[in-house]
Amino acid sequence: MKKKKNVFFQLASRNVRLNLSRSLLAALGIIIGVVAITTMGILGANIQLAVSSNLSSNANSIIITPDAGRTGGFGPPSGGTTSLLITDNQVREIEQAAGHNVVVPIHSGSDLIQVGTKDKKRVTIYGLPPDKVTNFVEIAEGSTLRGASSGVLVGSTLARDQGITVGTRIKIGDESTGTNEVVRVVGILEPKGFGIDLMPDNAIIAADQWYTSVYGSQGEYPQVDVLIQSIKDIPTVKDAIDKKMNKKVKVVSITDSGALLETINATIGQIGTFIILLGGISLLVASVSIFNVMMMSVKDRINEIGVLRSIGTTKAEIRKMFIYEAFIIGSIGAGIGGLVSFIGGYLLVRLIGTVNYFFTFPSIIYVPYGMAIGIAVCLLSGLYPAAKAANLNPIEALRSE
């Protein structure tokens, strides 16, 4: 049986060779389609992997914020304080619930700053316990905060934009904000990118004592972070804090970076799928050209089909011959397309970000995926022409020139 198959395969491949330019043009469509969906798939996978890994570098914290839905309507009448902040007492409750994990209350607010004679700019200012700072950020230059001094750390983007270096003095506040302080920069931070606990790249980090001495709000925090030593404890600790804090009414929202990671991953995945679908459109166009080539091939060979039928070739064998032809065109297209998307994908990923994840399974799997889809598209577009060839009336086919 094998050799018989080979004869039809031979006939099919001879025909591809005989109409080489036409077949190659059709294959080119498949190449473009395969490259489009494969590189887009690889790109999406690499972005997702890179973002996940960035996020999971701070995936070991639980963030507690006052519940935005809390308006005081359910609790006992409060003494007129309507601002939503977590108090020192609540921090102690959180500490009890968190066990041996470190709890860090974080002050944050915003104010105008001025460097030298440059324009004033509004930035976020964090107040952190100096000994906990390195749990959140890495120092690129200079040193970390020490004690209650008025030294501050500056995020990488802010430092670059404002030309701030270690030793620069920054004026904080003006008449409109009611503050008027001058601080000295002791350290510049490494870029951190997107984080759910702190976003320090465009911010200033100061010691908590300095923060409360300037802005007040001692013992009141907009955010409390719990640094979890082992990621698998996150659900337990989250649960414990929830039980302790949200007894009757919801007082605080508890978020962990894992949940956020999932949401972000899902979003990137959806965008990736959408882009691949766009690439799929080019494959659809390619399938039309394959269809066209196959129909022309059938038309060119009507007489030959008639001869083959008259000397005893079955319909199924005729069909097979044309499907082989589609398969050969598809394989050429998918093979070249796979190679091009492998190289092109690597260059594209390198251009946009890091190639650290290029050779991982979730990224490289798009090459065989894309190739398989390319071949499948060819086979599908070959089905109708092949059936048409097989069902030709042999007498009419013989009569045609």
Partner 1 sequence: MRKVYKLKAGDVTALQGISFDIHKGEFVAIMGPSGSGKSTLLNLIGCLDVPSSGELILAGRNVRDMSDDELTFLRRDEIGFIFQKFNLIPLLTAYENAEYPIILQQGHMDEEGKTARMLKLVGFGDELMTHKPNELSGGQQQRVAIARALVNDPALLLCDEPTGNLDSVTGGQIMDILKGLNEQGRTIVMVTHDPNIARSAHRTINIIDGRVAS
Q: Whole-number minimum distance, CB 307 to partner 1, in Å?
A: 5
Q: Whole-number minimum distance, CB 336 to partner 1, in Å?
A: 25
231/395 with CB nearer partner 1: 395
Cα separation, 316 vs 391, in Å, equals: 9
Cα separation, 195 vs 189, in Å, equals: 14
**Run of H or E including 69:** none
Cα separation, 144 vs 203, in Å, equals: 15
238/320 with CB nearer partner 1: 320
Q: Whole-number minimum distance, CB 401 to partner 1, in Å?
A: 9
**Would you say 149 and 207 are in contact if contact means Cβ atoms under 8 Å apart?**
yes
User: Which residues of 45-134 form beta strands (DSSP E)?
Assistant: 61-66, 86-87, 102-115, 121-128
Q: Whole-number minimum distance, CB 291 to partner 1, in Å?
A: 22
311/351 with CB nearer partner 1: 311
- Runs of H (alpha helix) within 184-256: 208-215, 234-245
**Would you say 286 and 377 are in contact if contact means Cβ atoms under 8 Å apart?**
yes
Torsion sign, CA atoms 203, 204, 208, 211:
negative
Q: What is the DSSP letter of 66?
A: E
- Residue-wise over 145-168: b if at least 16 C-beta within 10 A, else e? beeeebbbbbbbebbeebebebeb
Q: Whole-number minimum distance, CB 14 to partner 1, in Å?
A: 5
Q: Whole-number minimum distance, CB 23 to partner 1, in Å?
A: 14
95/317 with CB nearer partner 1: 317
Cα separation, 187 vs 82, in Å, equals: 36
Cα separation, 167 vs 143, in Å, equals: 11
180/391 with CB nearer partner 1: 391
Q: Whole-number minimum distance, CB 381 to partner 1, in Å?
A: 23
21/176 with CB nearer partner 1: 21
Cα separation, 109 vs 113, in Å, equals: 13
Q: Whole-number minimum distance, CB 1 to partner 1, in Å?
A: 6
Q: Which residues bind partner 1 (CB under 8 A)?
A: 1, 3-4, 7, 11, 14-15, 18, 303-304, 306-317, 394-395, 398
Cα separation, 340 vs 362, in Å, equals: 18
